[in-house]
Structure 1
Amino acid sequence: MAQRTPVNIVFLDRNTIPAHIVLPTPRSPHHWQAYGETQPDEVVSRLQEAEIAITNKVVIDETVLAACPQLKLIAVAATGVNNVDLAACRARGVQVCNVQGYATQSVPEHVIALIFALKRQLLGYHLDVQHGAWQKHGQFCFFTHPIGSVAGSKLGIIGKGALGEAVARLARAVGMTVMFAEHRGATHCREGYVPFDEVISRADILSLHCPLNPNTEALINRDVLACMPNHALLINTGRGGLVDEHALLDALKTGQIGGAGLDVLSEEPAPDNHPLITASLPNLIVTPHIAWGADEAVNRLSQQLMDNIDGYLQGTPQHTLINTAAR
């Protein structure tokens, strides 16, 4: 069997993988080019000779595909593929694959960490100590923020996929009871689910693990926030667009809900003047989209990414969202 001609592979946003993670390489002959980041006006020029593009968040749309007819595979270094025009890829015969299941431990651990941090008021007390309150108090302890218990809390989960189920397992292990929310407005409640409105009104903690689409955009809006208990916590490690951020900020400032832990925002990276960044509230924790980023998870992602590329090159594609016959 003739040896395959080396294929050109371009990674458009290598900086989305921590620098200390060593990426495996495809087993097939290849030429590799990695860019730390790629601006929209640089995508076409950087993919001109590429048969395979690797992207985490760089957008590859119809304009890019039309200008890069030699592109045959888009390997997404993430599970979400909303940055790739799937319809255009299908029309042009471009395969698309993603990575799956790599963060089913990392993301749930981050969710539980945010819950503990907010319930135990870790940020508020840390800021108090930094500002000298402990030093001035004159006794071995002080209480400026009410401390809650995680055990016994009711956790409402929106999204019953691999991540939602994994969060549920960890939550039960630390003594929480779990409710999975049915779709908002559904007339029938599936087995294993609780009506959406009931979950919203009963949950001490609400965690979001559903995809972002037209049906879920701003799912957590002013009306939903108003129905949550005033001690409730909102955790979002899904997509920023699931939450009406202005409504959330108002709810936090007025005490309509008890707190929020966010690993995602509607605009990433967040601008310096983003209202949820500048608010500096003790009951709000924002992390920079790193819930998935435990080293073990990133290593699994990296290996699966290369396995996906090798599968394409060897004619045995895997994790494909759009599959065409391998050349």
Structure 2
Amino acid sequence: MRAVFLDADTLGQWQDSEHHKAKVDLSPLVECFDECKLYGLTSPKQRLERCQDAEVIITNKVVIDRELMDQLPNLKAIQLAATGMNNIDLEAAKEKGIQCFNVADYSSFAVAQLTLQFILNFATRANDHFNLTRQGAWQESRMFTLTDFPTMEVADKTLVLIGYGNIAQKVEELAKAFGMRVIIANIPGRPMRDNQVPLNNALPQANFVSIHCPLTKETKELVNKDFIDLMKTGSFIINTARGPIINEQHLADALKSGKLGGAGLDVLSVEPPSTDNPLLQDDVPNTYITPHIAWASHEAKIRLIEGMAENMRGLVE
């Protein structure tokens, strides 16, 4: 079976059978096929040429749409190097009998870990105090300490989770280990579950809100001015899910006005972002943005590769 991996560089450096300088070993996946071509990145214009003879396409962020599928009569399966499947036209794939696979739960701990990192950084202001030390402020302090930023304890603070899949459940477990109170909010338009609280009731209780839901029609720009207005003044928002769930201009306005105390974001609406993204401007305070790294621990990448290989072994057999 012939396969092509369109954007292998999204997993970091990788190794082939001849060169062993890589940090991530793709051989468990590559060995599933008679032939597997690895491309670092693939532009939209390069998709057709590179996929022409493939029976299996492996992709992380390269979009596989109906137009492309129409031109690939040999295509039997698409394997996502991810969990979210919004880069595939699933309806078209189903119509054409093309099997689609993802890997669930490979990065749950890694994403939950960064979520807690954001929460703890807002509590301790460790990053801000670190920067003061690097700038020489502690060295010039008139006493042994320097507490220029207010700190707090997360115990007894309320964390509201938007979404309750594997990642959010791991966040809940870690948050409770720090003594936090956790509320699971219902997303408007979805059935209410026994463990959930209506969103409008949950948000006013939150010291922290953490986003863990998929990007859908229901959740696009779910976090907007109306959403933020329901939150406590000085509370914090964290997003390690998908950037378009947040209206970025509304969030930037809330941070500048002081309505929100801070934002910890691992995702933005366009990635890589443009320099005019409202959240990247110098006048937006207490905003910590990481470049979509939550999923990318070495251990998570190994689980991802093993998960893809398991899917493909089942397909080949």
Same fold (TM over 0.5): yes
Equivalent residue, structure 2, for 1:320: none
Equivalent residue, structure 2, for 1:18: 12
Paired residues for 1:182-221 under 5 Å = 182-184=186-188, 189-221=192-224
1:235 aligns with 2:238: yes
1:119 is matched with which residue: 109, 119, 123? 123
User: Per-residue displacement from partner, 1:15-38 (whole Å, max 9, x unpaired)?
Assistant: 110211111235545112111111
The whole-number CA distance in structure 1 between the counterparts of 2:137 and 2:285 is 14
Amino acid at match of 2:145: C
Q: Secondary structure of 2:108's match?
A: coil
Amino acid at match of 2:199: F
Name the % identity.
38
User: Per-residue displacement from partner, 1:259-298 (whole Å, max 9, x unpaired)?
Assistant: 1100111101112332222337551111111111111111
Q: Which has the higher contact order (CA 8 A, sep 6+)?
A: 1
Amino acid at match of 2:81: A
1:298 aligns with 2:301: yes
The whole-number CA distance in structure 2 between the counterparts of 1:46 and 1:261 is 38
* Runs of 5+ consecutive residues of structure 1 not aligned to the other structure: 1-6, 315-327
1:270 is matched with which residue: 269, 273, 276? 273
Number of equivalenced pairs: 307
Amino acid at match of 1:279: D
Amino acid at match of 2:52: Q
Q: Secondary structure of 1:67's match?
A: coil
Q: Secondary structure of 1:147's match?
A: coil
Q: Secondary structure of 2:69's match?
A: helix
* Paired residues of 1:54 and 1:76 also in contact (CA < 8 A): yes
Equivalent residue, structure 2, for 1:9: 3
* Paired residues of 2:211 and 2:240 also in contact (CA < 8 A): yes
The whole-number CA distance in structure 1 between the counterparts of 2:58 and 2:178 is 39
Equivalent residue, structure 2, for 1:44: 48
Bigger mean CA offset, 139-148 vs 99-108? 139-148
* Paired residues of 1:158 and 1:208 also in contact (CA < 8 A): yes
**Alpha-carbon deviation of 1:194?**
1.4
1:62 aligns with 2:56: no
The whole-number CA distance in structure 2 between the counterparts of 1:263 and 1:280 is 19
* Runs of 5+ consecutive residues of structure 2 not aligned to the other structure: 14-22
The whole-number CA distance in structure 1 between the counterparts of 2:189 and 2:99 is 36
User: Per-residue displacement from partner, 1:219-264 (whole Å, max 9, x unpaired)?
Assistant: 1101111221112110100110111111111111111011110011
User: Per-residue displacement from partner, 1:141-200 (whole Å, max 9, x unpaired)?
Assistant: 2222111211111110011111111110111011101000022367x8531111211211
Paired residues for 1:65-144 under 5 Å = 65-144=69-148
Equivalent residue, structure 2, for 1:225: 228
Equivalent residue, structure 2, for 1:150: 154
* Paired residues of 1:124 and 1:283 also in contact (CA < 8 A): no
* Paired residues of 1:27 and 1:310 also in contact (CA < 8 A): no
TM-score normalized with structure 2 length: 0.92
Equivalent residue, structure 1, for 2:287: 284
* Paired residues of 1:204 and 1:232 also in contact (CA < 8 A): yes
The whole-number CA distance in structure 2 between the counterparts of 1:215 and 1:17 is 30
Bigger mean CA offset, 210-219 vs 120-129? 120-129
The whole-number CA distance in structure 2 between the counterparts of 1:28 and 1:108 is 31
Amino acid at match of 2:41: E
- Where has structure 1 moved over 6 Å in runs of 4 or more? none
CA distance 1:13–1:27, shift in 2 (3 Å):
closer
Equivalent residue, structure 2, for 1:257: 260
**Alpha-carbon deviation of 1:108?**
0.8
**Alpha-carbon deviation of 1:86?**
0.8
User: Per-residue displacement from partner, 1:84-143 (whole Å, max 9, x unpaired)?
Assistant: 111111111111111111112111111111110121112222232333322333322222
* Paired residues of 1:26 and 1:309 also in contact (CA < 8 A): no
User: Per-residue displacement from partner, 1:61-94 (whole Å, max 9, x unpaired)?
Assistant: 1111112211111101101111111111111111
